[in-house]
Chain A
Amino acid sequence: MALLDIKNLSVSVDETEILKNINLSIGKGETHVLMGPNGAGKSTLGNALMGNPQYEITSGNIYFNGLDLKDESTDKRAKAGMFMSFQNPLEIPGISLSSFIRNAIIQQTGEKLKFTEYRKNLSNNMALLSFDESYKERDLNVGFSGGEKKKAEILQLLMLKPKFAILDETDSGLDVDAVRTVSEGVREFQKSGEGALLIITHSTRILESLHVDRTHILVKGQIVESGDGSLVDKINKEGFERYLAE
């Protein structure tokens, strides 16, 4: 059985249907890419999977690790092993990046952390992301640049080690170097465990050095084509025009 099974999923925002009848299966450790033009509903799928209350599931089901997630709250989904890297991470004053991640790990595992071990792990991952270590004591995302916010998201991904992570436009708005660093972090995540990924993107830069198992093209709320990693190269050359022609 797949790790994530999306069955006939339709999603509305403010009573407008955005996603229609989505079917998608992601197995343990697999990396899937969701591509599509702006406004196709890519982020809507991410938000619906993560349980954002502003997105209403009008029909269909989401099964994750054998659980029916449709009516579960976002924190329960996270505890079950889901994660989402946000397109626009929120600024939260009053809690440092370091204590926030620590807090989240404790919430999810219910276990106490060895402080020194945690610090070491955090430092290593920050180094991997070329993330200035002084940021760990700064308030979560407050005053971070776009690139630093995305690094902070990938840092959380590496620290929380989810079973399944959605990366929602993690590469958008980043310069070439920052995309490379973030991509490095994602590759580390692929390497280090059995975590599955759904990478939502409308460009292909972040994918250049990553292994991709499946690619799905979302247009106007529907998956119009699925294929292996080579579909990414095809999109890279041809763009989405041919899907939009009809």
Chain B
Amino acid sequence: MERERTEVNDIDRSIYDFRYSDEDFYKVDEGLTKDIVLQISKEKNDPEWMRDFRLKSLDIYNKLKVPDWGPDISGLNMDDIVTYVRPNTKMTTSWEEVPEDIKNTFERLGIPQAERTSLAGVGAQYDSELVYHNVKDEVSELGVVYTDMESALTGEYEEMVKEHFMKLVPPTDHKFAALHGAVWSGGSFVYVPKGVKVDIPLQSYFRLNAAGAGQFEHTLIIVSEGADLHFIEGCSAPKYNVANLHAGCVELYIGKNAKLRYSTIENWSKNMYNLNTKRAVCEEGGTIEWVSGSFGSHVSYLYPSSVLKGDDSHAEFTGITFAGNGQNLDTGAKMIHVGKRTSSFINTKSISKAGGISTYRSSITVLPNAEDSKASVSCTSLMLDDISRSDTIPAMDIRTDKVDIGHEAKIGRISDDAVFYLMSRGISEEDAKAMIVSGFADPVSKELPLEYAVEMNNLIQLEMKGAIG
């Protein structure tokens, strides 16, 4: 697929840190009870089956334990989290109708501009609800459906939603999947009909504005046989002193010989617990490509998984994680080979500095029937100082001999000689280090659409500021 590349202006940190009042917004009480779940369901005019689904998920949530194998999340207390915040506006297809504060937010994040220049459609979510959604006519004319989950749930796609919703990531998967099932709100629904190739990307942007709130958007994408789509997801939030929670869910269904590229740049503020679940399933000959940049959040658990169900299906994961002061980012990918001659490729880079902890965690499973499959993992870590940490935890469960597996892991410190070399040409220590880190990240930035590559580079420059001394 041709990827559109556009230019955008440089950013500075303030575009993420500004915030607006949420006084007029409708919110449920803090915490998680049956009443709150019912209240959310009522607010959202759920069909009955969805209301029941929420209640069932709540029961599961109450039974499951908090994961004990990853970074500490004891600072997250569900009794303090507001699970639903509705901005005081209805969803619109015109930026003019979006309230000023909210429109300003997205303007400052560059979303309307990107929509004009390089996107086929845009969804913008503010706290719990989408406030803007629009698709270019030529894309709708191809039969592509791109809408908010609520509209899909109550409109003509209800059956399709019902058939797929949390089937790939069931609420029983883990505690936060159950939480998502109970209180999910917002997100996007995309359906690409058979054989349709969407040349330019669709994008959803998620912005969490309210302090102490949670965001639980659901993304459901169905790419039919022989179809092709690039979907981009962006997330950010201003910094608060209280914990915020993101427990979204992404379910991607890739049909026979279809292809989906799913790109994410995540830049949540550093008080965020990012406990997100993403999963894709590929039918025969289908391809999923994940591109993932994780920069923000206080704690992340993020391992997009690909189920290679059909024969000859293929998955790629390209990711970068940057953990700074106070961040513990546990990221990686999962690949499950079910069909014959399936192939998967993982390439990750992680950077840690100023006491940040970055852990690469992955699992490759090859089932007995997945003969003649291939899996390759390459993970590289760069530590910028003595106080930061980097770990790799790759797991493999291979149940057939007829398989080709490759694994390569490298952990290293930034080279003093390289810094000296660059400085000998008049480049400051800070810029020299940023240059080395950008170069390290380059194989990943090359995979991103240009505006995101620029944003990622800017994020690296910002992260590198004050990295000295």
Contact = CB atoms under 8 A, between A and B. Distances in A.
Interface residues of B, number: 23
A53 B442 contact: no
B426 A94 contact: no
Interface of A: 50-54, 73-75, 77-79, 82-84, 86, 89-90, 92-95, 100, 103-104, 107-108, 139, 156, 160
A184 B417 CA distance: 28
Contacts of A82: 424
Nearest to B422: A92
Interface stretch (B88-96, B191-199, B431-439): B431-439
Given A86-B421, A94-B435, A108 B416 contact: no
A100 B431 CA distance: 12
Nearest to A139: B439
A89 B423 CA distance: 13
B429 interface: yes
Contacts of A77: 424
Closest 9 CB pairs of A and B: A94-B439, A94-B442, A78-B426, A74-B423, A104-B425, A108-B426, A93-B439, A90-B421, A75-B423
- Report whether over half of chain B's contact residues are helix, strand or loop; otherwise say mixed: helix
Contact of A104 (B417, B418, B426, B439): B426
A53 B420 contact: yes
A94 B440 contact: yes
Contacts of A74: 420, 423-424
Contacts of A50: 420, 424
A234 B107 CA distance: 73
A48 to B, nearest CB: 12
B423 A78 contact: yes
Interface of B: 415-418, 420-429, 431-432, 435-436, 438-442
A156 B423 CA distance: 14
B425 A92 contact: no
A73 B422 CA distance: 12
8 contacts: A52-B420, A53-B420, A75-B429, A77-B424, A92-B436, A93-B440, A94-B440, A95-B439
A73 B416 CA distance: 14
Contacts of B440: 93-94
Given A78-B425, A86-B424, A94-B442, 18 more contacts: A53-B416, A53-B420, A54-B416, A73-B429, A74-B420, A74-B423, A74-B424, A78-B424, A90-B418, A92-B421, A92-B422, A92-B439, A94-B438, A94-B441, A95-B435, A95-B439, A103-B427, A107-B426
A83 B441 contact: no
B391 to A, nearest CB: 24
Given A52-B420, A74-B420, A139-B439, A90 B425 contact: no
B426 A75 contact: yes
Given A95-B435, A95-B439, A139-B439, A90 B415 contact: yes
A54 B416 CA distance: 9
Contacts of A84: 424
A78 to B, nearest CB: 4
Given A93-B440, A94-B439, A73 B425 contact: no
Nearest to B438: A94
Nearest to A103: B427
B418 A92 contact: yes
B135 to A, nearest CB: 36
A2 B400 CA distance: 75
B426 A90 contact: no
A84 B442 CA distance: 27
A67 to B, nearest CB: 15
Contacts of B438: 94-95
Contact of A90 (B417, B431, B442): B417
A135 to B, nearest CB: 17
B112 to A, nearest CB: 31
A136 to B, nearest CB: 16
A126 to B, nearest CB: 18
A185 to B, nearest CB: 17
A107 B420 contact: no
